[in-house]
Chains A and B, each alone.
Chain A
Amino acid sequence: MRRLSGLSETGRKMGWKELPIGGYLLEPGSSMKYKTGDWRAFRPIIDQKKCVNCLLCWIYCPDGAIIRLEKNVDVNYDYCKGCGICANECPVKCISMVEEKW
């Protein structure tokens, strides 16, 4: 039985017999299911006490992985690849990059 996405119902990676032909992706928007956060080597940690909610990190993040909340920002770790641009741009230096221990 060939399924729509690369993962079976149990989350197991599918083998060659089950995959759709030619590497086709038969389900639109399935990239949402692909969590790129595990590419990360460094994890941005926001010190919420120092954050002034200027939103520069939100503007600069190339992956849209900064979440805008009411009074502050947070990181979507499912998709943050750990590039560190947010930490570099932060005017009050409230974002530190901490090595991931996968």
Chain B
Amino acid sequence: MVIFMAKVMGLTGNEAIAYAVKQCNVDVVAAYPITPQTVMVEVISEYIYNGEMDAEFICVESEHSAMSACIGASLAGARVFTGTASQGLALMHEMLYIASGLRCPIVMGVANRALSAPLNIHGDHSDMMGSRDCGWIQIYAENVQEAYDWTIQAFKIAEDPRVLLPVSVNIDGFILSHCVENVFVLEDDVVARFLPPRKPLITIDPTNPITVGAMCLPDYYFEVKFQQFQTLNESLKVIREVTKEYESLSGRKYDVLEAYAMEDAEAAILCIGSTAGTAKEVAKGLRREGKKVGVVKLWVYRPFPQEDLIKALGDVKALAVLDRAFSFGAPFNALCSDVISTLYKYRKDIRVFNCVYGLGGRDITPMEIRGIFEETLEIADTGRLKEYVRFIGVRE
């Protein structure tokens, strides 16, 4: 038996990300506070003020400026971090595309929160789903431990010369950002060995001038964007490599997705973020009753792990896909659309229905998840779908 000597700390999701950022020896942080991310950058600014972290904290006047400053610093060769949520992410939207288009390996912690109007500060995935096509690698953590682990891995993935793309580490607002958990943390020198200082391939440098962000007309734009598109798709391989290396030093196993009790499952729930924890707990109970249910949790949402998903689903007959955001006017919501597209592509005949839940931070209870499982089992049994999209707990 291998015993990993580990230090345990009581940290909230925000603090865990901040602690990881400190250990990752980040050079520049440019951020603007917004609920529920505020503590994340507040703690980082304390580290810097106390001299525990040798970094430049740029106090900016908005999230648009925060991301702009991050892009400049990243192009100059710095290791860069920022954090935001909700309206802040929406205000950053324009710059998110520039960060990925200019191939800046920025890491951003996002404490997912609902979008206004009506104003709501609680957790759902509307913010990041609204920016899902921005060309960033998008990772969703299930708990605080994962938030810590993924933040460290995110820098390694982003800065890999085969990737050079920004990465967002998403934690559910309040559910993870503000809840204290016991977190196994690595020693500083272990993180430093895993993540040596950034070695940029090309930087902006007055003695060797280059042009970045120049206009690109119809004759070249398509090729440049295709290069980015291809790189994002191929980054799955690098993500997997990084998780393997991280496992060897932390003892914690990560991948692009987690398949829980899926080996012989007939009905399953697919979701992202903290809800996967509840779903796994409910599945465990149902398994004890002899029900063949499982859970698929995507850690990596962009690039969408298509082959891994097909493999994980195995011989499942019915699947409920849980979305914590609306895609207004769309036939299915974001996550479910991606799942159905993947099933179509691989000619996989699984009965799929979409459940929208927990908007504006509304809790999803184990009983509700049990209900979804039971319905999925029924569909697996009869092969008949009643509704394609359901809205969990919404009052008429």
Q: Which residues of A contact B (CB under 8 A)?
A: 6, 13-17, 19-28, 30
Listed stretches B7-15, B81-89, B219-227, B386-394; interface member: B219-227
* Chain A neighbourhood of B227, CB < 8 A: 16-17, 19, 21
* Chain A neighbourhood of B213, CB < 8 A: 23
- Pairwise interchain contact B211-A24, C-beta atoms closer than 8 A: yes
Knowing A13-B219, A16-B230 touch, does A25 contact B224 (C-beta < 8 A)? no
Knowing A22-B102, A23-B101, A24-B202 touch, does A16 contact B210 (C-beta < 8 A)? no
Verify if B1 is at the interface (C-beta below 8 Å from A).
no
* Chain A neighbourhood of B210, CB < 8 A: 24-28
Tally of chain B residues near chain A (CB < 8 A): 22
* Chain A neighbourhood of B209, CB < 8 A: 28
- Pairwise interchain contact A22-B224, C-beta atoms closer than 8 A: yes
| Distance between Cα atoms of A25 and B224 in the complex (Å) | 12
* Chain B neighbourhood of A24, CB < 8 A: 102, 202, 210-212
| Distance between Cα atoms of A24 and B226 in the complex (Å) | 15
Verify if B216 is at the interface (C-beta below 8 Å from A).
yes
Knowing A6-B220, A28-B211 touch, does A22 contact B103 (C-beta < 8 A)? yes
- Pairwise interchain contact A16-B202, C-beta atoms closer than 8 A: no
Q: List 8 A-B contacts (CB under 8 A).
A: A13-B219, A13-B220, A15-B223, A17-B227, A19-B223, A24-B210, A24-B212, A28-B209
Shortest C-beta distance, A24 to chain B (Å), equals 6
Verify if B214 is at the interface (C-beta below 8 Å from A).
yes
Shortest C-beta distance, B201 to chain A (Å), equals 8
- Pairwise interchain contact B223-A14, C-beta atoms closer than 8 A: yes
| Distance between Cα atoms of A26 and B208 in the complex (Å) | 9
* Chain B neighbourhood of A25, CB < 8 A: 210-212, 214
Shortest C-beta distance, A56 to chain B (Å), equals 30
| Distance between Cα atoms of A16 and B221 in the complex (Å) | 10
| Distance between Cα atoms of A26 and B102 in the complex (Å) | 13
* Chain B neighbourhood of A19, CB < 8 A: 220, 223-224, 227
* Chain A neighbourhood of B101, CB < 8 A: 22-23
| Distance between Cα atoms of A30 and B227 in the complex (Å) | 21
Closest to B220 in A: A6
Shortest C-beta distance, B75 to chain A (Å), equals 9
- Pairwise interchain contact B219-A23, C-beta atoms closer than 8 A: no
Closest to B100 in A: A22
Verify if B164 is at the interface (C-beta below 8 Å from A).
yes
User: Counting chain A CB atoms within 10 Å of each CB, which of B202, B210, B230 scores highest?
Assistant: B210
| Distance between Cα atoms of A28 and B207 in the complex (Å) | 11
Shortest beta-carbon contacts, A-B, top 6: A25-B211, A22-B103, A16-B223, A23-B224, A16-B227, A16-B226
| Distance between Cα atoms of A23 and B220 in the complex (Å) | 8
Interface contacts beyond A16-B224, A23-B216: sample of 12 additional A-B pairs, CB < 8 Å, sorted by A:
A6-B220, A16-B223, A20-B202, A21-B201, A21-B227, A22-B212, A22-B228, A23-B102, A23-B214, A24-B102, A25-B212, A30-B211
